[in-house]
Structures are given as structure tokens and as C-alpha cells.
């Protein structure tokens, strides 16, 4: 990069920084020597164009150097250490953050893409300049996309719409966001883009006179109110027109007949004065006013939005903001470099951005892999938000559709993990309740509570989803270890060895031989991946026929469905008093069945696949059981049967009636809660005593009806 070019591209740099930038250009030019882009131009033209885009945002010298060098590690074989040695560790870190992972072999193309994004976003969490370089890189690539093959164009354009444009929007880079979307639209839907572009050009001439007339009216009204203001016509970009047509099923004329204006005033208080003046000029449309000054968007955007009934009945959308607000609206987080000032609004943008970037680290920590991480991030990139209040009156922005549980996790991970109920505007509401603008939300917690697996089905934020999955994984691990310990102790006692007799030396030998920790071994026993008796024999280092015959001598006590590691079989729905058997199932733990269950008949011949179990004598729980009651087809019989069930201290979970064929009898199917077989027998005896009951019996397996 010749010295004259540096002065043209980044005239704001100090001489020492300009000299370092020239060295970076020379280094990059030499590294890329002989390489050409798809359009036939020397490759150096690409990093140079990226640095020029960043210079337009007044980025610092380190960022511009990293932009010039961002492809040398990936494309030329130069090591990151060389960059650090020549240009400093900060520049090397920025280059490393942007560099893709093409040289690493992944399970699939989707996995590779997800890993690239994960690495980029996590680097961005450490230094936001990484994503600014990446966005400038993507912007130039999109501007030169025509040189790529058609299938590559579509893939890159879709990736841009899905990830990069939303990130630009999330960071407040409106100009970049709009340009990325419009170029992507051109390559994803070339015919629709061409038709819309022609329609806009054709309609533009007819609109000019109306736009000028409305703008003059707005300007005169504000002047008469004593306000100094600039009024600009605001035109929608093509992709936003297309998206609105798709989402709201509108025609082009219905979307394009909305006139948009931007009013720039001097002080925040002037925004509200201008709003009052304009509402007296044209009637406001009810429900179309939004105050993003009092409650800024998550990316720091501030403006008043209102929609008015303009002349000829055409809607007029107006945004009212100060010059500082306008800078942030157009440049977002980049305004920190564009406008060097101690302005509180600018520092607030940085603060909000930092909070979001830090949340990426939380999501990464709780995600199983890169694909899941990308899935969570995509949810958080869409800008449609609702604003709710904490009990202290603090404002919190949440994605539209977010629930109480999303809110709880947004406050703090521990609040989310321990929430049991919530008050919305003072009333108790279900945890799955979607939040609305202005809701006041209070979370009720309990120290003993833990996340419910069903929450996964209704939360919408990546942070909540990741934390729930992580908590469930830890719970699953803990419960599996507990079950594994019980199974191992049972196996040891079956070999005539008390668990307390096993020494640390025996465990250390097994840990060394297996390459697993003690907790991992116990968890694998609990999940059915290892047999308790095999581990017991490995600990004892002996396997005798006598031991094998005795290993099922001591039964394991069952207290009921004990979390995710011990489950009651849905095929037979055992209850205390039923003879039971435990089936070891890989990755599912211990499944309890009745002795006569058809599902385990063939397992009885293989003692390695079942566990000797018995009900504990002190069970204080209720269990679901199905019963079928055949009754006379009379009015009121269902109420009579239900009342009898309730009188025996049993709750009804579900009831269904058999198909009505007009006959003398009908079938009633109940799912009821009982304590044990004695309780069930007493209940069935009471039902048999009813005059309208013809027959009653317990149902299992496929005949059972569940809601």
C-alpha cells in the first residue's frame, strides 16, 4: 500500500500507525503474490478492499493491519507466530479470530460451517473488532459474488441472510445490514429481485411529488413549533419490501405506498416536542407508536416511531431522533471508532454489545457441539423484541415469543435453574407463558428445584436452551452415578463382599486399566453400558462360577421412578405389590417391569441383562395405573364412577369413553393414581359394588389409554 494510498484510505492515522500499515500491506502483497481471485484480479485487491471498508468506519491501525493480513494464514501457509513477531500479538489474535478452519476435517459440511461460526463468534466475544473485520470481508465478497459458480453464490447468499446480516443488525450496522440483505436477495431470488427493482424504479417518479409535498409540510410544521430539524425521505431497501410482502401477504403497492421520513432534531426533549407537532399535523394511527428512546433496542438504537394518516390517506412512517442517535442507528457498535467522544449513549452501546458478547460464552459453555451452538445463536440474532420489567423496574429486552423461563435465565442462570413459578403483573402464570411488551415479571424460586425437561419445548432463547440442556445432562450424570453405585454394591454383595471392603488401591488399579474415572465407571453402570457384576469382578480380580451363581442373591430396593436413571416401564406400569424385575438398557439406565411383562420375557434367559429388584417397604408415592370399567349406558354413570374413585383417595389423571354405538353398555378408561396393589384392589372392589358397573379390570400395555 503506497504512502499516498494510506493517506487517502485512512487519513486519520498517526505517522507511526501509517508506517505499520504500509508494512502490513507489503507483507500481505508478497504472501499473496501470484494468487488470483475468481474474477482474475490479483488477490491483494480483496484484503485491500476490506481494509478500505474498515477505514470508512475509522477503525484503528491494528484492525486495518489485521484486515490486510486476514487471509495469509489460511491461504499462504504463513504461521500466526510470524504475524505476531512482525506486527504484534494483538494483530495476530485478530487474524486468528477471522481465519476459518478449512484445513481441519469435520464430520460434515454443516459441522465445519458451524465450527467456523463458533470460533469466529467466540473470538468476537473477546474482541468485537473480529466480527467487524469479518463483516467487512463478507461485504466485499458479496459485492464480487458474480465471479463465483451459481451453486456457490446461493450457498454464500443464504449463509449471509442467515448469519452475517442478522449479526450486522444486532451490532447496529444498519447500512451493512441493508446492503448484505439486498445483495443476498439478488442471488437467492434473481427474478423476484429484478421484478421488484423495476417496480420500485417505475413507482419512484410518481412518488417524488408526494414525498416532497409531505416533507415540506413536516418541515413547516416543525419550524412553526420553534424546532430546528432536518427532514429526509426514507426509502425501504428491496429485501425489506420483499420480506414484508411475504410475512404479511401484501402486494407491492400496499407496501410501497407507505411513505417514510426521518426527522433529525437537536436535543432528546425536542424529539417529543416534534412528535406532538406532527400528531397535530396528521392524525396518528392507533397502536403504531413506539418509544425506543425511553426503552432502547438491544443494539443501542434510539428513536421515536410513529405512523400517521398522511394526505390522500397514505400511511406516513416517521422516525424522530437526535444527531447522536442517528449516528448510532447507522453505525452501531462501529460508532465507537467513528465518533470519538465520551458520550453516554455511545458507551451504552458498547455496554449492551459487551453483555451480548459475554452471553455467547455462556451459551458455548453449555452447548454440546458447534452445531448446537450455532442453533442457539441463530435464535438470538433475530431482532424482533419485547420489553419487560423486573420487580425493581429495570427494563429487559427479550426476543418475541420468549417465555417466563427465558426471562429467568436471562436474569441469572441460578434463577432459571431454580424457578418454580412466576407472577406476571402480580398474577401467578404458567412458566410457559409468552411475555408481552410492558409485562412486569417476578420469578419464584426454590433451592431444591431443578430444570424440567419439558422446558426445552417452549423456551426460545439460546441461553435458556443451552443452560437447561447442561443442567439436565449434569442431573442425568449424577443420577446415573447413583444408580451405578447401587448396582455395583448389589453385585459385590452377591459375590459375598461388602462394598466397604473395596480399597482405594483396587479402585486405582481399575481406573488405570480402564482409562476412566470412578464417576465415569459408575455412570456407565447406571446407563447399562457396563455390567455391575463385571466391574465387581474386575475390582476383585476374580470370576468364579460360585460367584456368578450368587450375584443376584441380594435384591435392589426400588422406591419408584427415581429420576432419569430408574424408570417404570410404560408397557406394564408396575405398582408396589407387583412382582418386578429390572432390565438394564443401554443409555437408558434401569427399567422396572412386572414379572409377566411381554417386553422382558426373552431377557429372563440372560441373567446379564436383568437385575434382581424388590419394592422398598416404606414407599410414600402414588403410581399411575390404567383401569377399564364397562358400565350400563345411562346418564350420570360417569359422574357416579368418578365420585367413587375420588372417595377411595385416588386422583384421576385422565378419562376417556369408548365409542358410542347406541348399545346397552359402554367402556370407560381411567388413568388413576394409587399407592399400591392393596389400594388398587380396594378401589376396584368399591367400583364393582356400583349397580351400573358390569365389569372392571386393570389394563396394561397397548390397551392402556394415555392422554
Q: Are 259 and 316 in contact (CB under 8 A)?
A: yes
Q: What are phi and psi of 667, to 5 degrees?
A: -110, 135
Residue 607 to residue 553: CA distance in whole angstroms = 12
The C-alpha cell 449471509 sits at 160
Do the beta carbons of residue 424 and residue 406 sit within 8 Å?
A: no
Q: Find how far residue 697's CA is from the centre of its chain.
A: 47
Indicate the angle between helix axes 61-69 and 80-87, nearest 10 degrees: 150
Separation in Å, CA 117 to CA 77, 133, 163, 522: 22, 14, 9, 36
HSE-CB of 3 using CA atoms within 13 angstroms: 4
Alpha carbon distance 556, 564 (integer Å): 17
Catalytic, 549? Answer: no
Length of the chain: 707
Q: Grid coordinates in use for 524?
A: 456407565
Residue 431's contacts (CB-CB under 8 Å, 6 or more residues apart) are 403, 404, 405, 419, 421, 422, 455
Neighbours of 8 (CB within 10 A): 12
CA-wise closest residue to 337 among 92, 525, 132: 132
Among 558, 560, 604, CA closest to 583: 604
CA distances, 558 to each of 269, 568, 644 (Å): 69, 10, 30
Burial (CB < 10 A; 0-12, 13-18, 19+), residue 620, is: exposed
Geometric angle at alpha carbon 474, from 473 and 480, rounded to 5°? 90
Q: Is 74 a catalytic residue?
A: yes
How far is it, in rounded angstroms, from Cα 576 to Cα 625? 11
3-state secondary structure of 420: strand
If you search the block for the grid coordinates 412458566, which residue do you land on?
Answer: 431
Candidate list 17, 19, 74, 614, residue with the active-site label: 74
- 3-class state of residue 388 by DSSP: strand
* Separation of alpha carbons 450 and 568, rounded Å: 21
Is the distance from CB of 173 to CB of 131 less than 8 angstroms?
no
552: left (phi over 0), alpha (psi -120 to 50) or beta: alpha
CA 139 to centroid of chain Cα atoms: 26
- Considering the candidates 19, 56, 75, 692, report the single residue annotated as catalytic: 75
| Angle between the N-to-C axes of helices 129-143 and 45-56, in degrees from 0 to 180, rounded to the nearest 10 | 120
User: What phi and psi values does residue 332 have, to the nearest 5 degrees?
Assistant: 55, -130
Q: Are 408 and 359 in contact (CB under 8 A)?
A: no
Helix (H, G, I), strand (E, B) or coil at 132: helix
Strands 385-389, 283-284: pairing kind: unpaired
Q: Taking the chain, what is the end-to-end CA distance rounded to the nearest angstrom? A: 71
Distances (CA, A) of 71 to 44, 96, 102, 145: 10, 10, 12, 17
Q: Where are the beta strands (DSSP E) in 525-622?
A: 556-558, 566-568, 580-585, 589-594, 610-611, 613-615
Helix locations, 495-627, DSSP H = 504-514, 518-526, 532-540, 545-550
The residues, any chain, with a CB within 8 Å of residue 303's CB and separated by 6 or more, are: 271, 292, 293, 319, 320, 321, 325, 329
Contacts of 256 (CB under 8 A, 6+ apart): 199, 200, 203, 207, 236, 241
Q: Which residue numbers are catalytic?
A: 74-75
Amino acid at each position: 500500500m503506497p504512502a499516498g494510498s494510506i493517506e487517502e484510505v485512512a487519513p486519520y492515522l498517526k505517522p507511526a500507525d501509517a508506517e505499520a500499515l504500509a508494512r502490513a500491506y507489503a507483507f500481505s502483497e508478497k504472501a499473496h503474490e501470484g494468487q488470483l481471485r475468481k474474477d482474475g484480479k490479483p488477490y491483494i485487491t480483496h484484503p485491500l478492499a476490506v481494509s478500505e471498508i474498515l477505514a470508512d468506519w475509522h477503525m484503528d491501525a491494528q484492525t486495518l493491519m489485521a484486515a490486510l493480513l486476514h487471509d495469509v494464514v489460511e491461504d499462504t501457509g504463513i504461521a500466526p507466530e510470524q504475524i505476531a513477531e512482525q506486527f504484534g500479538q494483538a494483530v495476530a489474535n485478530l487474524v486468528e479470530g477471522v481465519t476459518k478452519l478449512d484445513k481441519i476435517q469435520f464430520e460434515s459440511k454443516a459441522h465445519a460451517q458451524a465450527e467456523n461460526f463458533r470460533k469466529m463468534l467466540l473470538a468476537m466475544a473477546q474482541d468485537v473488532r473480529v466480527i467487524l473485520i469479518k463483516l467487512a470481508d463478507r461485504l466485499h465478497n458479496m459485492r464480487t459474488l458474480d465471479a463465483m459458480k451459481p451453486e456457490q453464490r446461493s450457498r454464500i447468499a443464504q449463509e449471509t441472510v442467515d448469519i452475517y446480516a442478522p449479526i450486522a443488525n444486532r451490532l447496529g450496522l444498519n447500512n451493512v445490514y441493508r446492503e448484505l440483505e439486498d445483495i443476498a436477495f439478488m442471488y437467492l431470488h434473481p427474478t423476484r429481485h429484478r421484478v421488484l427493482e423495476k417496480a420500485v424504479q417505475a413507482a419512484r417518479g410518481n412518488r417524488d411529488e408526494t414525498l416532497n409535498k409531505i416533507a415540506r409540510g413536516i418541515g413547516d410544521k416543525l419550524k412553526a413549533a420553534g424546532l430546528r430539524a432536518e427532514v429526509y425521505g426514507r426509502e425501504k431497501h428491496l429485501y425489506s419490501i420483499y420480506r414484508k410482502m411475504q410475512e404479511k401477504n401484501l402486494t407491492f403497492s400496499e407496501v410501497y405506498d407507505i411513505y417514510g421520513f426521518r426527522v433529525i432534531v437537536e436535543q432528546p426533549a425536542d424529539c417529543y416536542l416534534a412528535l406532538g407537532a406532527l400528531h397535530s399535523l396528521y392524525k396518528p394511527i392507533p397502536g403504531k407508536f413506539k418509544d425506543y428512546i425511553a426503552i432502547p433496542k438491544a443494539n443501542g438504537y434510539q428513536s421515536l416511531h410513529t405512523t400517521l394518516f398522511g394526505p390522500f390517506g397514505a400511511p406516513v412512517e416517521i422516525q424522530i431522533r437526535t444527531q447522536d442517535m442517528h449516528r448510532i442507528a447507522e453505525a452501531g457498535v462501529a460508532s465507537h471508532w467513528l465518533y470519538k467522544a465520551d458520550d453516554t449513549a455511545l458507551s451504552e452501546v458498547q455496554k449492551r454489545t459487551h453483555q451480548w458478547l459475554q452471553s455467547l460464552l455462556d451459551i458455548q459453555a453449555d452447548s454440546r457441539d458447534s452445531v448446537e451452538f450455532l442453533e442457539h445463536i441463530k435464535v438470538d440474532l433475530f431482532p424482533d423484541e419485547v420489553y419487560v420489567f423486573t420487580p425493581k423496574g429495570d427494563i429487559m429486552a427479550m426476543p418475541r415469543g420468549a417465555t417466563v423461563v427465558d426471562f429467568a435465565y436471562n436474569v441469572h442462570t441460578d434463577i432459571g435453574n431454580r424457578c418454580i413459578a412466576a407472577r406476571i403483573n402480580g398474577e401467578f402464570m404458567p412458566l410457559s407463558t409468552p411475555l408481552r411488551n410492558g409485562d412486569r415479571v417476578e420469578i419464584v424460586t426454590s433451592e431444591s428445584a431443578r430444570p424440567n425437561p419439558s422446558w426445552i419445548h417452549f423456551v426460545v432463547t439460546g441461553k435458556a436452551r443451552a443452560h437447561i440442556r447442561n443442567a439436565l445432562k449434569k442431573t442425568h450424570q449424577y443420577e446415573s452415578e447413583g444408580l451405578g453405585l447401587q448396582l455395583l454394591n448389589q453385585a459385590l454383595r452377591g459375590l459375598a463382599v461388602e462394598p466397604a471392603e473395596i480399597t482405594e488401591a483396587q479402585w486405582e488399579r481399575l481406573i488405570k486399566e480402564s482409562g476412566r474415572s470412578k464417576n465415569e465407571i459408575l455412570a456407565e453402570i447406571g446407563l447399562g453400558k457396563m455390567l455391575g457384576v463385571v466391574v465387581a469382578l474386575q475390582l476383585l480380580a476374580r470370576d468364579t462360577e460360585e460367584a456368578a451363581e450368587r450375584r443376584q442373591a441380594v435384591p435392589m430396593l426400588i422406591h419408584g421412578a427415581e429420576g432419569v436413571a430408574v424408570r417404570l416401564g410404560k408397557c406394564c406400569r408396575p405398582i408396589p405389590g407387583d412382582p418386578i424385575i429390572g432390565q438394564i438398557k443401554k443409555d437408558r439406565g434401569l427399567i422396572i417391569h412386572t414379572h409377566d411383562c411381554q417386553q422382558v420375557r426373552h431377557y429372563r434367559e440372560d441373567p446379564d441383562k436383568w437385575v434382581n429388584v424388590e419394592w422398598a417397604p416404606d414407599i410414600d408415592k402414588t403410581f399411575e395405573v390404567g383401569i377399564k370399567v364397562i358400565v350400563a349406558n345411562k346418564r350420570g354413570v360417569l359422574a357416579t364412577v368418578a365420585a367413587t374413585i375420588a372417595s377411595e383417595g385416588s386422583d384421576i389423571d385422565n378419562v376417556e369413553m369408548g365409542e358410542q354405538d347406541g348399545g346397552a353398555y359402554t367402556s370407560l378408561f381411567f388413568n388413576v393414581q394409587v399407592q399400591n396393589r392393596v389400594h388398587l384392589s380396594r378401589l376396584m372392589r368399591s367400583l364393582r359394588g356400583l349397580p351400573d358397573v358390569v365389569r372392571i379390570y386393570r389394563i396394561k400395555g397397548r390397551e392402556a389409554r394415555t392422554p
